[in-house]
Structure 1
Amino acid sequence: MSTRARILEVAARLVAESPDGEISTRAVCEAAQVGAPALYRHFGDKEGLLSAVVDHGFDAYLATKRERGDTTDPVEDLRNGWDSHVDFALRNPNLYRLMNSPAMRTPPGSAIEAHRILTHDLERAAAQGKLRVAPELAAQMIMSATTGVALMLVSRPVTFPDVGMSARVRDAVHAAVFTADVSPGAPVETAVPSAAATLGALLRRSHGSGLSTAESALMTEWLDRVSNAER
């Protein structure tokens, strides 16, 4: 095992075993039997080490998402994605709190990848006419709600003892984000935003729209404003 891998493995174990998730670089160096210069050479500083720990721990969770092929029902994929996200947090509370700590000034790569996967599924839903808002806004709504629920469950178990609460919040958020198939007789306040979100998603995926790059960007901005308008 390389020195970097040994340091990372030890740091991940100490984070998991810590009562509050806090670790010191000194403790990591002692447990890994390396000097501080070796740790800083491989990770830059403590934040770099902790970011690597998060990516290391989150990698197995993301692997299931990377390997999962797209189904024909992106909404079901997103429901399962919410549930697996919360389940991961409950099984790895210290790691999850660390991942979402304000002290992490630079988001770990795993967090960025998770957001990208979520947005991809939402773009698929939008292309099928199933979104009320633009994919990026939907991703922000879902990710903030999922993270909030997961953090409350792992950080305030006495106040939030019911894990089933996650499904209730999931369904409430999804009801605000997704729409049933819009029929020709649907109310304008429902039909227009959904149609705008659908057209915006299709335009992003199209390479032959007949619009210039600037025109396509402007059209996408307009469609996002229509789909995201408060109603």
Structure 2
Amino acid sequence: MSRDVRARIVDAASALLADGGPDAMTTRAVCEAAGVQAPTIYRFFGDKSGLLDAVTGLLFESYVDRSVAVARRDPVDDLRGGWDLHVGFGLENPAAYAAVYGAPRTGRESSADRRVTELLAARIRRIAEAGRLTVPERRAVRLVHSAARGTTLELLGIPWHERDLELADLAREAAITAITDGGELPPRHAAPEVGAALALREGLDGLTALTEAERTLLATWLDRVTDTG
């Protein structure tokens, strides 16, 4: 029964969010639509912010499922596909996307944003493991994530009949060029061994066959390779 009530609240909040955005998803409106009292919402979700996280998290899970289903063999092409899905999802679900990314919460990450970041990090890791990443993984994740968010929000702010969807393609390729060798050609601004060193440096904590002192020494060597690359 509790699961049914929770689902009814989420469904009601999702409809309100889609119709009128976060401002329409008031506690009173959700209570009326779901046929519950305010204490019920607080018991399940804590507050309106918790309810919003639950609603957007559920919507974004569908995006995550689609993204995993269309994973490609080439890691850079896989990143391209992930970018396209991200932008497409945002344009298809403007209210939910704006709720997650339109007003950043300083020092607090929503469950939806965390899942998207994890998915992106996995794609970046595949590129690093292939020796094709030319910047540290954390920087690559942040750069691509911020570029995709900014591009999507920019497009959402333009009337649909005036949107230049090629903007997303240009931004995508600029981001990819900034963090990788760009494709089949050798990187022009970093030697292949630099990409391999970056990948190994990110996974250094997992090298349990080495002692802490050995890992520290190896980290120093790898940093020297990447700094001079």
- Normalised to the residue count of structure 2, the TM-score between the two structures is 0.84
Residue range with higher mean Cα deviation, 173-182 or 161-170? 173-182
Q: Structure 1 residues 34 and 140 mapped into 2: Cα distance closer, same or farther (>3 Å)?
A: same
Selected match of 1:130 from 109, 132, 136: 132
- Residue deviations 1:130-155 (CA, integer Å, cap 9, x gap): 11111111111100000000111113
Q: CA deviation at 1:87?
A: 0.1
What is the aligned partner in structure 2 of residue 95 from structure 1? 96
Cα distance in 1, alignment partners of residues 95 and 220 from structure 2: 39
Q: Which runs of 5+ in 2 are unaligned?
A: none
Query: Residue 161 of structure 1 corresponds to which residue in structure 2?
Result: 163
Could you tell me how far apart the structure 1 residues matched to 2:120 and 2:161 are?
Answer: 29
Q: CA separation of 1:10/1:221 partners in 2, compared to 1, >3 Å: closer, same or farther?
A: farther
- C-alpha displacement of 1:163: 1.3
User: Structure 1 residues 60, 152: CA separation in 2 closer, same or farther (over 3 Å shift)?
Assistant: same
- Quickly say closer, same or farther: Cα 1:178–1:45, change in 2 above 3 A: same
SS at match of 2:13: helix
Amino acid at match of 1:76: D
Quote the offset at 1:224 in angstroms: 6.1
Determine the structure 2 residue equivalent to 1:197: 198
Aligned to 2:12: 10
Q: Distance in 2 between matches of 1:93 and 1:46?
A: 19
Which of 144, 147, 166 is residue 145 of structure 1 equivalent to?
Answer: 147
Alpha carbon RMSD of aligned pairs, Å?
Answer: 3.0
Q: CA deviation at 1:221?
A: 7.6
- Partner residue in 1 for 2:121: 119
Aligned-pair distance for 1:230? 10
Q: Look up the SS of the partner of 1:11 in the other structure.
A: helix
Contact 1:12-1:53 at 8 Å conserved across structures? yes
Q: Structure 1 residues 164, 222: closer, same or farther in 2, change over 3 A?
A: farther
Aligned length: 223
SS in 2 for 1:2: helix
Q: Is the 8 A contact 1:129 1:181 kept in 2?
A: no
Q: Is the 8 A contact 2:67 2:85 kept in 1?
A: no
- Contact map agreement 1:129 1:182 (CA 8 A) in 2: no
Given the alignment of the two structures, is residue 81 of structure 1 paired with residue 82 of structure 2, yes or no?
A: yes
Deviation per CA, 1:36-68: give whole Å up to 9, x if none: 011111110010011111101111111123445
Separation in 1, partners of 2:156, 2:17: 15
Judging by fraction of residues, say which structure has more helix. Answer: 2
Percent sequence identity over aligned pairs: 35
Aligned to 1:216: 215
Q: Is the 8 A contact 2:129 2:196 kept in 1?
A: no
Q: Displacement, 1:226?
A: 5.9
| In the alignment, structure 1 residue 40 sits paired with structure 2 residue 42 | yes
SS at the partner of 1:168?
helix
Work out whether residues 152 and 160 of structure 1, in 8 Å CA contact, stay in contact via their aligned partners in 2: no
Greater CA drift, 8-17 or 60-69: 60-69
Deviation at 1:195, TM superposition (A): 3.7
CA distance change for structure 1 residues 107 and 198 in 2, over 3 Å: closer, same or farther? closer
Q: Which amino acid aligns with 2:126?
A: R
SS of residue paired to 2:36: coil
TM-score normalised to structure 1 length: 0.83
